[in-house]
Structure 1
Amino acid sequence: MKIGTRTGDRRGVEVHDFDPATASSDDLAALRRHIYHDKIVVLKQQALDVPAFVALGAQFGKPVAYYEPMYHHPDSEFVFVSSNLDRETGRVGVPKTGAFWHSDYQFMPEPFAVTCFYPQRLPSVGRGTYFIDMAQAYQRLDPRLRTSIEGTFARHSSRRYVKIRPTDVFRPLGEVIAEVERKTPPQRWPTVLVHPVTGEKVLYICEAFTYALEDAAGDALPATLLTDLLAASGQLDAEFAHDNIFVQSYEPGDLVLWDNRTLIHRALHNPGNEATESFRVTVLDEHPLTKEDAA
C-alpha cells in the first residue's frame, strides 16, 4: 500500500496498491488516521463487489442501513444507491440525490462518522462532489461570529429534502409531512463540535438540514445569525467560487472515504442526463459525535 499526499487543489491523500482482501491491521489503522486527519482518502483502482464493499466499510465502523428502503441495493441494505439507470428488472436506488449542502444523517440521533463513496458509472462531465471543511470554515469565521455562537445549539431536520416515495402518490401532503416529522424528529446538536479524535472545532451546520439556532436554555437566536454563518462558510454561494469550497473529482475505480463529522458535501450532477450510478456505505465509529467539552 502506497499513500501519497495530493498536490495542487486536490485535498487529502491518495492510496495506490490497496487490496482490502490482504490489507493488514496496520494498513487499516493508517487509513483510519488519514480519514480523521486528512479528511479525504482516495483508494485508487478498486474493483469490489457489493459484499466486499460493505466489508471494507465495516473496517472503519459499524455500517448502518439508510432509514428509507427505496435507496437500498437489492444485495445489501447497507449500500445506498444513487442512480438514474433504467433496468429491465426495475429501478435500483434514487436518481440525483444530495444536490444540497449536508452532512450524512445530521438530522438523525446518530450522525455517521465516515462515508465510503464508490462511483460505479461516471458521466463524461460533472464527475465529482463539492466539499467544505467545516473545521477550516470555523477557523476562518470573523471573531464576532465565533463569539456569537459560543455555547449555542443548532436544530436539524430532514423535512426540506425528503424525497417522495412511490407509496406516497395520492396521499395528502399534510399526512406525508406528519410522517416525516414522526420518523425523523428534529435533532439538537452543538453549533460547534469538538472532534473526538483530532480535537478540532467544527462548525456543525448545513444549508439542507439546519433550520434554527438557539442558546443553551433553548431560546431562539435571530435567524440572521444562521444565514450569516451559512454565507461565511460558503454554502450560499450559487457559483461555488467561495474559498472554502473544493471539488473532489472521480476516475473509474476510485473509492473515496471521508470524515463525515468535519466535511459537508454537495453532489455535482452533470448538466445532461447521462447514465450515472454510485454506491455508498456509511458507518458509525467507536467515538461520540463530539467531546463533552464542545463549545
Structure 2
Amino acid sequence: MADFDIRPTGGPIGAEIIGLDVSKPVSDTVFSDVESAFYRHSVVVIRDQTLSPAQLAAFSRRFGQPQANVRAEIQKGDVPEITLISNITENGKRIGSHDAGRYWHSDLCYLDKPSKLTLLHALEVPVRDGVAYGDTRFASMAAAYDALSDDLKEWIDGLKAANSYRYMWNKKAHEFGVRPVLSDKELEKYPPDAIHPVVRTHPVTGLKCLYVCEGYTRESVDMTEAESAAVLRQLFEHVVKPDFLYAHNWRLGDLLMWDNCAVQHKATFDYEPPLRRLMQRCTIEGSVPF
C-alpha cells in the first residue's frame, strides 16, 4: 500500500483518502490503489487538493477519455474538458452552471456512452459560522437493486428506458427559472434520447445497478405510458431510501470522485449569495450500458 490512508465511511458507499497529492505525477502503483478504492467504495474523496484546471484534467485522464459538456458556456475556456459549477455572478454574467444537480441523476446518462466517473474539485465552499453548506448526496444503485423484491426484479429485467437531456432542460427551466425555456427546434442542438437498460451491469464489478433517475429518465419504452409512469415513480422513490444514502459534507480542496453506474447524486441548495460555491469538474467517458 502506498503512503496514504483510505478510510471507509462504514456505509454502503463512500471513503476518504488522506495524504495523497494528485497535483504531482502519480505512479502506476499509487493510481492502482486509488482506482481499486474507487470501484470498491463508489464515492471517494481525496482531501486537501490544490489543483489548476490543467492539473485536474491531467489526473482525470488517468481514468480514461474526458468528455466535453454539451453546454459550451460552462466550460473552462483554456481547458475545455473542465466545466465550472457555481452560484457566482460577475458583471451580470453567471459563472458556470447555476442549476446543476437539482434532481437525482447519473451524469451524462443521456448519451449513448454515459460518464464512467465524475471528478469534482472544491475551489470555494459556502461556509457560515464554521458550518459548510451545499452537501452532495449519493444513493447506491447496487444496494437499491439488491433490496428490490424478487417479483419487481423479474418485472423490470430486460426493460429499457429513454434518458433525455431535452426533457430535463425544459423540466428544469420551468421548475427553477435559472435557464430559459427552449422550443422544440432550439432543443435539437442537444443530443437525442439515449435508450439504456433499466437495470445495467457494472462493467468492472459485475454488480447489477438500477439505471433510471428522476432528472433524465423520461419513460420506459417497453410499456404503456401509464405503466411506465407507475414503475418509474416506484423506482425513483425506492432508490433514495435512507439505507442507500451517503451525504458528502464539503471541505475546501476536496476532490470528490463518483461512479456513475454505481450511484446517483443530487446537490443540496441550502445556501444563497453572499455565500459562494465554486467547483471545477471533469467527466470521463464510459461504455455502452448493458
Separation in 2, partners of 1:181, 1:22:
41
Give the aligned residue type for 1:233: V
1:252 partnered with 2:259:
no
SS at match of 2:54: helix
1:280 corresponds in structure 2 to: 281
* 1:195–1:289 contact (8 Å) kept in structure 2: no
**Pick aligned residue for 1:97 from 94, 100, 120:** 100
Equivalent pair of 1:72/1:92 in contact (CA under 8 Å): no
State the partner residue of 1:237: none
Instruction: Report SS of the residue matched to 2:126.
Output: coil
Task: Please state how far the C-alpha of 1:126 moved relative to its aligned partner.
Answer: 2.1
Q: How does 1:194-209 map to 2 (within 5 A)?
A: 194-209=201-216
- Hey, what's the Cα distance between the residues in 2 that align with 1:134 and 1:214? 21
2:199, 2:211 within 8 Å by CA — same for their partners in 1?
A: yes
Stretch moving more, 87-96 or 152-161: 87-96
Cα deviation, residue 35, structure 1: 1.5
Query: Does structure 1 retain, via aligned residues, the 8 Å contact 2:118–2:283?
Result: yes
Alignment of structure 1 residues 80-229 onto 2, 5 Å: 80-88=83-91, 90-124=93-127, 125-162=132-169, 176-181=183-188, 183-215=190-222, 221-229=227-235
Aligned to 1:47: 50
Aligned partner letter, 1:159: R
Once residues 214 and 91 of structure 1 are traced to their aligned partners in structure 2, the CA distance between those partners, rounded to angstroms, is 37
**Offset of 1:219 from its aligned partner?**
6.8
Which is helix-richer, 1 or 2? 2
Partner in structure 2 of residue 3 of structure 1: 5
Residue 74 of structure 2 is matched in structure 1 by 71
What is the aligned partner in structure 2 of residue 238 from structure 1? Answer: none
Question: Partners in 1 of 2:221 and 2:78 — Cα distance?
Answer: 42
TM-score (norm 1): 0.85
Unaligned runs of 5+ in 1: 235-240
Query: Residues 192-247 of structure 1: CA distance to partner in whole angstroms, max 9, x if unpaired?
Result: 111110000010000011111133xx77654211111111212xxxxxx6332321
Moved more, 11-20 or 120-129: 11-20
Instruction: Give the whole-Å Cα distance in 2 for the aligned partners of 1:136 and 1:84.
Output: 32
Amino acid at match of 1:267: A
> Aligned pair 1:230/2:233, yes or no?
no
Deviation per residue, 1:118-156 (Å, 9 max, x gap): 011101242320111111110111222111101111111
Q: 2:39 aligns with which of 36, 41, 45?
A: 36
Q: Work out whether residues 157 and 186 of structure 1, in 8 Å CA contact, stay in contact via their aligned partners in 2.
A: yes
Secondary structure of 2:257's counterpart equals: strand
**Residues 85-108 of structure 1: CA deviation (Å, up to 9, x unaligned):** 233595431223211111110011
What do residues 8-42 of structure 1 show as CA deviations (whole Å, max 9, x unaligned)?
55942221221221321111122122212210121
Identity within the alignment, %: 27
Q: Please report how far the alpha carbon of residue 54 of structure 1 lies from its aligned counterpart in structure 2 after TM superposition.
A: 0.7
1:3–1:13: 8 Å Cα contact kept in structure 2? no
Question: Secondary structure at 1:120's aligned position in 2?
Answer: strand
Q: Secondary structure at the match of 2:264?
A: strand
One-letter identity of the residue aligned with 1:147: E
Q: Does the aligned pair in 1 maintain the 2:167–2:218 contact within 8 Å?
A: no
Three-state SS of the structure 2 residue aligned to 1:98 is: coil
Greater mean alpha carbon deviation, residues 51-60 or residues 117-126 = 117-126
Three-state SS of the structure 2 residue aligned to 1:147 is helix
Give the conservation status (yes or no) of the 8 Å contact 2:87–2:276: yes
